[in-house]
Structure 1
Amino acid sequence: MDEVNALIKRIIKDNDERAFNELIKLYYNEIYGFVYKQVLDKDECLDITQEIFIKVFLGIKHYNPKKASFRTYLYSIANNYIIDMYRSKQYKQRQKLVFEEYDMKSEDLSVLEELIKDEEITRLNDAVNSLPQTHSSVIRLRFYAECSLNEISEILNMNLSNVKYYLYQGIKLLQAKLKVGDYNEDITKS
């Protein structure tokens, strides 16, 4: 944590690009993974991850280490970026085109299996996106970013009881939307 704060001070004080590159190295894979689990496209994921770090760089002067950890700050920006992306009309139009590109006459079973898998994941992502924003954010942070409930509480600036409530309600809503059975795993434990 001291290393991160030292890098941030160098970035803010001296506009040190090398310090920012070091900061990116510390968190890049984590944010890339968070984004990839939601978009499932390497090129798009690279672009989005880059955009998130640009937003971080441009707004880093507003970061307050007394309010939250840098990781919390970073996930807040990433989560908000993903929410905005899913809301955009361009994203919705692009999703329609993705499935039109596949040639369904192909006899290649692996392509068909991959398409079905992508379609199922897209269906899940669409269901998550259709949830109320707070529910959606909690679900994303818990399952895509694999944050603990305490981390989600910090990132979304809400108490732990509310995080558990929104997680439980979000899962119930997803089950109804996807018409699946109960989850065996108790995911409401930290």
Structure 2
Amino acid sequence: MASGDAALVRKIVLTGSRRSADKLIRRHYDDIYRFVAHQMRDKDDALDVTQDVFAAAIRALPSFDVRRASFRTWLYRIAANKVVDWYRFRARSASLSIDEVEIDPADARDEYEELVDRSWSEDRARRAIELLLELEPRVQAVVRLRVFAGSSFAEIAQATQQGEAAAKAQYYRAVKTIRACIVREERS
């Protein structure tokens, strides 16, 4: 599918083909929507952000370079950034309550389950997301791509334009930091 994506991207960039753009969007829409929706409480907001992701992707297609990342990886990077932007905008326009952030612990990946496992309450899971939002955007993107998109560290490294070891280190450091903060808060 990756080579098919690259061919569609070339056709869109060279000819402006709406049909190719529609095909490319349909191919990835459900995955991107799920990725965004897992990080947001309101499904309408998730739909809006998903629309923003594809609008930004279509506008940025001329800058897409298949040698640097697969289209899927590139698209998830845009999605992660749009979710972060959405939360930043919300934080600026109104204070963010933990009730406005939702995570389903059952959707967590193996490593993240150590942080948000079945024994954790929904409040702890929400606090984990709240703490995630306090991390720098690049680290947030690494954690989001790993947890919500199920991306490999190689894919994350491509999407965030850094080495695989750096992506792993950022991920595990972020999980450790979030865990320590929650444990510290629960003890006090």
Normalised by the size of structure 2, how large is the TM-score?
Answer: 0.77
Which one has the largest radius of gyration? Answer: 1
Please tell me the residue identity of whatever aligns with 1:18.
R
Structure-2 separation of matches of 1:24 and 1:40 = 23
In structure 2, the CA distance between the partners of 1:161 and 1:97, relative to structure 1 (3 Å rule), is closer
Identity, % of aligned pairs? 29
Structure 1 portions without partners, runs of 5+: 100-115, 181-190
Q: CA RMSD in A?
A: 2.3
Are 2:166 and 1:162 equivalent residues in the alignment? yes
Show CA shifts across 1:66-104 (max 9, x none): 2211112111211111222222246762744977xxxxx
- Alpha carbons 2:25, 2:54 under 8 Å: kept: yes
Structure-2 separation of matches of 1:173 and 1:133 = 15
In structure 2, the CA distance between the partners of 1:158 and 1:34, relative to structure 1 (3 Å rule), is same
Show CA shifts across 1:4-27 (max 9, x none): 122112211111111111001111
Write out aligned runs for 1:69-148 (5 A).
69-89=70-90, 93=94, 95-96=96-97, 117=122, 120-148=124-152
Structure-2 separation of matches of 1:97 and 1:80 = 20
Deviates more, 1:169-178 or 1:128-137: 128-137
Are 2:61 and 1:57 equivalent residues in the alignment? no
- Alpha carbons 1:86, 1:92 under 8 Å: kept: no
Structure-1 separation of matches of 2:9 and 2:167 = 29
Q: Secondary structure at the match of 1:40?
A: coil
The runs of at least 4 consecutive aligned structure 1 residues that moved more than 6 Å come to none
In structure 2, the CA distance between the partners of 1:98 and 1:176, relative to structure 1 (3 Å rule), is closer
